[in-house]
Structure 1
Amino acid sequence: MSAIIGTTQYLCYFNQGPNGLPFNDDAQCSGPTSIVQGGITASMPGGSWVGSLASGLLSDKFGRKVSIQVGAVIWLAGSTISCAAINIPMLIVGRFINGLCVGICSSQVPVYVSELSPPRRRGLVVGTQQWAITWGVLIMFYISYGCSFLEGTKAFRIPWGFQMVPALVMCVGLFFMPESPRWLARHDRWEECHQILSAIHGHGDLDNSFVQMELQQLNEVCALERDQADVSYLDLFRPNVIWRTHIGMFVQIWSQLTGINVIMYYITFVFGMAGLTGNANLVASSISYVINVVMTVPALLYVDRIGRRRLLILGSVSLTFWWLLCAGLMGKYGSPAPPGGVNSIAEESWTITGKPAKVVIACSYLVVASFAPTWGPVSWIYPPELMPLGLRGKAAAMSTSSNWIFNFALSYFTPVAFVNIKWKTYLMFGIFGIGMTAHVFFCFPETKGKTLEEIEKVFANGTSSPWKMAMGGFRSIDSDKEESVQGIKSEQDPPLHVENSNKEGGATGTVEAV
């Protein structure tokens, strides 16, 4: 949206300003009002909130892979409606349907990827998913920018139509991918689970020691859950789980309150207030997406070494500084915009010029540079690691729904905030940064280097304070893996193998030593 909402073609086609309703071709069209533009932008995260809540039920019943494919099909439908939109309500409906897909996929893709990943590389692999998202954002921005030179509605219909292509590729490509071995284990499909684990961890060797260790851990976890009734969202708030639920939800809430989507969605508005117009604004805005791609790479390299907790604190401290600096500059050197607004912002807002404006632009880039290697990938890596197997799908849905409901709120109210509280919008995000730093320090434990089953044991057995754990409370998987494997090798029983047995009421599988 950020490359489109400032173009003449978009502003005139969806015009609500003084030049007439609804679709005036006058080059001076002011486009939708701030509150309507907020609604257009927020319609997608609004749908994402609904989709993320539904994804837990879908994923637990039909599997991680199938739920992602369902999301891709929904995306095709929403994109078709958006591409064909002839008025604002139709555009909002199309984007809301798109959001259903985003909610499903943003909840279940991290779960799917984390459950397929080797423990020592889980941060890298799940972080690479976030890096892929930054590439998607960058590519779509430049496609939209290139289409802005086309005449008429082609300027926005082509990019809105083109976004169907990757959804189609994903839907078809997933037919050739395995299902999550942990989902298969929970549904007693042990033979398939064993095959997939051996492909991931043992190069196809079914008797690989680490594969046997993973099977044993999975069997222990599933044995504890086998006699329980189907879990519901209410189980996320049981006394022994609610602490983890709160952490998973807040890592997503805080990731939105970093203010990153003020930059991602409305950077043309921000740069418009700083005096940039037309193509200069779009080109300058595109740099933020390049920074987003480049600065995600350090997280991929170091998230499994530095850990989740340190990156979150580093990110929140730096984000707080940049937002407060912007607020100070805007408050001291800025002034109310003239009647009619400035550049791509249709209503009265705020404006700043000269060297302070250049610093505000630089700080906007630094916000992205601080978010991309920290909260960007870690907020997706962290939540699936926290929860027990039986609750993981619903927990991911709950945490992601927290992301999208706050995304919705910020998308909707940011244009209104620019008009009403003006420069204090920046101050608001600086204050959020202080809050998130304290919350992470006191409440967020470190999870790097552990298998998902080992993390479950840490929470089940109780731990010391998160800041004490960060100084040595968690042992690395490098030492644990060797110890666990040696333990398996030294047992008197021969290697584990998978047996399937049919019992009354359905087929169940067990992992037994024989």
Structure 2
Amino acid sequence: MNFSLKSTRRVLPVTSAEPTVPRPGSKALLYGLSAFTSIGALLFGYDQGVMGVIVADSRWLNLMRPQNSWVTGAVVSMYDIGCFIGALSTGHLSDSLGRERLITLATIIFSIGAVIQAASYSVVQITIGRVILGLGVGACAAGVPLYLSEIAPADIRGRLIGIEQMVLCFGELVAFWTNYGFNYLESENWWRIPISIQVLPAIILGVGCFFWVMPSPRWLALQDRRDEAYEALVRLHGTDQAIIEMDMLDHALEAEKVKGMSSWADMFKRPYVKLTFLAMVLQSFQQITGTNSILYYTPTLFKKGGISNAHTANLATGGVGIVLFVSAFIPIFYFDRLGRKTWLQIGTIGMLCAMIGIAVLQWHAEHFPGNTGNYAIIVFPYLFYFFFNISWGVAAWIYPSEIFPINMRAKGNALGTCANWISCYIVAQVSPVIADAINWGLYIIYAGICCLAFVFVRFMLVETRGVSLEDMSQRSGLM
């Protein structure tokens, strides 16, 4: 057996199958691959949720002794720099290694970063660990949606990305309640356990992607492994649909061969710069509308809203995880019934209202400390994440993986994901500082950004629901 990352699994025809008899596609295989590779989103979600309670804990602060809120913000946000670099690397590595081999490599890097974090005794050590772990998370965050979009039939692409989002939210839920449980330990090192736990699913994902997950049929076609690409499509979608998709894929590849493989510079040249702009701005708006500002610092948000008891604030933070997980089931069943633009507009309006609610109640707590009405602030982060999850939580990840031609898809998806992470870094770094300076005014700023996001979605995006990846160039006006 060849253990090289560059040697992907062969996808050979089933020897017992009669060549002239059409074979049905396997829904079990399609959903199994989707659910398994979405463990990458579990790692993403778990690490997104695990640090918020830790950096607000007095025992962690006494041990690490960050000098000020900028340093605390750096511990959280330097992870996003690692994610940015990891996502950028997928533009080349996912084309050269294969989508599933990239995920295996990402899990190895992720595990190294998690071990360094768990063994840290200084701000510098834990920050280095978070950067390394971020490299793995960034690669998974870009690689998993890319893989899912390339194995999915056009009519359920949103559902498969919805499954990924549900698994991501499950990771956040597990992180919240793992922190809540271990926080009761008297040891100042309690936080090392939640950080260490995430290594186990990373190992499972890495091994499974190496030995079981088959390559994307579109990647196989891009590597001139046409027979294997056809066999992969037959296994996933059935013979009849595979013939149609393979014909469309052949035409798309023939058109792209005339142009040659894309370079990074091509992503910023006409006519493709339009797609790059849409992918990067969409992913940026997902972050600068405030999602991780709430997620990373939820206990602090509740404290400024008048909830002074630490365990009550942590319990309310755990409720965020429950809302995220439960609401994530809605896109699985309904996201493909409405257009991407419709869901994004509905979600943005709801997020805008939630941000205004948080601002009003933090103002109320500032002027009326101790008032029982301050506890109403718990509702609004829940409301925000309900609307975020049914819209931006899915659409921002699926859209960049849909709109690019096959020879540009990996790089375009990588650039969109990079924009997400650099925006996430900025939000995580400046949010605590701005909140210290203007308190509830931070959420008024986010409400204003939600208004801009609504205008962008309404007037700039092209609808992609139900369109095959190979037909997307016509829909985007490139052909």
User: What is the CA–CA distance in structure 1 between the aligned matches of 2:105 and 2:387, rounded to whole Å?
Assistant: 34
Query: 1:419–1:461: structure 2 CA closer, same or farther, 3 Å change rule?
Result: closer
User: What is the CA–CA distance in structure 1 between the aligned matches of 2:430 and 2:272, rounded to whole Å?
Assistant: 33
How many residue pairs match? The answer is 427
Number of the residue aligned with 2:229: 193
Bigger drift between 323-332 and 159-168 goes to 323-332
Number of the residue aligned with 1:321: 353
Determine if the alignment matches structure 1 residue 234 to structure 2 residue 265.
yes
Determine if the alignment matches structure 1 residue 284 to structure 2 residue 284.
no
* Residue 321 of structure 1, CA deviation: 1.7
* Residue 458 of structure 1, CA deviation: 2.0
Indicate if the aligned counterparts of 2:83 and 2:138 stay in contact, CA closer than 8 A: yes
For residue 214 of structure 2, the aligned residue among 172, 178, 188 is: 178
Query: 1:75–1:333: structure 2 CA closer, same or farther, 3 Å change rule?
Result: closer
Indicate if the aligned counterparts of 1:147 and 1:154 stay in contact, CA closer than 8 A: no
Indicate if the aligned counterparts of 2:252 and 2:470 stay in contact, CA closer than 8 A: yes
SS in 1 for 2:90: helix
Query: 1:435–1:460: structure 2 CA closer, same or farther, 3 Å change rule?
Result: closer
For residue 99 of structure 2, the aligned residue among 39, 44, 64 is: 64
* Residue 42 of structure 1, CA deviation: 0.1
Number of the residue aligned with 1:448: 465
User: What is the CA–CA distance in structure 2 between the aligned matches of 1:8 and 1:261, rounded to whole Å?
Assistant: 22
Indicate if the aligned counterparts of 1:312 and 1:374 stay in contact, CA closer than 8 A: yes
User: What is the CA–CA distance in structure 2 between the aligned matches of 1:151 and 1:91, rounded to whole Å?
Assistant: 21
Number of the residue aligned with 1:397: 414
Number of the residue aligned with 2:190: 155
* Residue 353 of structure 1, CA deviation: 4.4
Q: Which amino acid aligns with 1:75?
A: F
User: What is the CA–CA distance in structure 2 between the aligned matches of 1:436 and 1:40, rounded to whole Å?
Assistant: 28
For residue 116 of structure 2, the aligned residue among 81, 92, 103 is: 81
SS in 2 for 1:86: coil
* Residue 333 of structure 1, CA deviation: 5.6
Q: Which amino acid aligns with 2:290?
A: G
* Residue 223 of structure 1, CA deviation: 0.8
For residue 287 of structure 2, the aligned residue among 256, 262, 284 is: 256
* Residue 138 of structure 1, CA deviation: 0.7
Gaps in structure 2 of 5+ consecutive residues: 1-50
* Residue 392 of structure 1, CA deviation: 0.4
For residue 427 of structure 2, the aligned residue among 390, 410, 417 is: 410
Indicate if the aligned counterparts of 2:305 and 2:361 stay in contact, CA closer than 8 A: no
Question: 1:26-62: per-residue Cα shift (whole Å, max 9, x none)?
Answer: xxxxxx5211110000011111011111111111111
User: What is the CA–CA distance in structure 2 between the aligned matches of 1:286 and 1:112, rounded to whole Å?
Assistant: 31
User: What is the CA–CA distance in structure 2 between the aligned matches of 1:362 and 1:385, rounded to whole Å?
Assistant: 34
SS in 1 for 2:306: coil
TM-score by length of 1: 0.81
* Residue 355 of structure 1, CA deviation: 4.8
Q: Which amino acid aligns with 1:215?
A: M
For residue 8 of structure 1, the aligned residue among 19, 35, 58 is: 58
User: What is the CA–CA distance in structure 2 between the aligned matches of 1:125 and 1:99, rounded to whole Å?
Assistant: 24
* Residue 229 of structure 1, CA deviation: 3.8
User: What is the CA–CA distance in structure 2 between the aligned matches of 1:329 and 1:42, rounded to whole Å?
Assistant: 27
Looking at secondary structure, tell me which structure has more helix per residue: 2
User: What is the CA–CA distance in structure 2 between the aligned matches of 1:55 and 1:45, rounded to whole Å?
Assistant: 15
User: What is the CA–CA distance in structure 2 between the aligned matches of 1:458 and 1:362, rounded to whole Å?
Assistant: 40
SS in 1 for 2:359: helix
Q: Which amino acid aligns with 1:178?
A: M
Determine if the alignment matches structure 1 residue 268 to structure 2 residue 299.
yes
Indicate if the aligned counterparts of 1:334 and 1:353 stay in contact, CA closer than 8 A: no
Question: 1:349-389: per-residue Cα shift (whole Å, max 9, x none)?
Answer: xx954255223222122111111111111111111011110
User: What is the CA–CA distance in structure 1 between the aligned matches of 2:413 and 2:422, rounded to whole Å?
Assistant: 14
For residue 400 of structure 2, the aligned residue among 365, 374, 383 is: 383
Indicate if the aligned counterparts of 2:261 and 2:408 stay in contact, CA closer than 8 A: no
Determine which structure has more spread, i.e. the larger CA radius of gyration. Answer: 1
Greater than 3 Å deviation, 4+ residue runs = 227-230, 328-333
Bigger drift between 422-431 and 315-324 goes to 315-324
TM-score by length of 2: 0.86
Indicate if the aligned counterparts of 2:365 and 2:371 stay in contact, CA closer than 8 A: no
Q: Which amino acid aligns with 1:50?
A: I
Gaps in structure 1 of 5+ consecutive residues: 17-31, 203-207, 336-350, 463-514
Identity in percent: 30
User: What is the CA–CA distance in structure 1 between the aligned matches of 2:371 and 2:364, rounded to whole Å?
Assistant: 13
SS in 2 for 1:121: helix
Q: Which amino acid aligns with 1:407?
A: C
Question: 1:201-239: per-residue Cα shift (whole Å, max 9, x none)?
Answer: 10xxxxx22211111111111111224443212111221
Determine if the alignment matches structure 1 residue 135 to structure 2 residue 152.
no
SS in 2 for 1:3: helix
User: What is the CA–CA distance in structure 1 between the aligned matches of 2:447 and 2:366, rounded to whole Å?
Assistant: 18
Q: Which amino acid aligns with 2:169?
A: T
Correspondences of 1:471-490 after superposition (within 5 Å): none
For residue 95 of structure 1, the aligned residue among 130, 144, 160 is: 130
Number of the residue aligned with 2:339: 307
User: What is the CA–CA distance in structure 2 between the aligned matches of 1:403 and 1:357, rounded to whole Å?
Assistant: 33
User: What is the CA–CA distance in structure 1 between the aligned matches of 2:399 and 2:188, rounded to whole Å?
Assistant: 41
For residue 164 of structure 1, the aligned residue among 199, 207, 212 is: 199
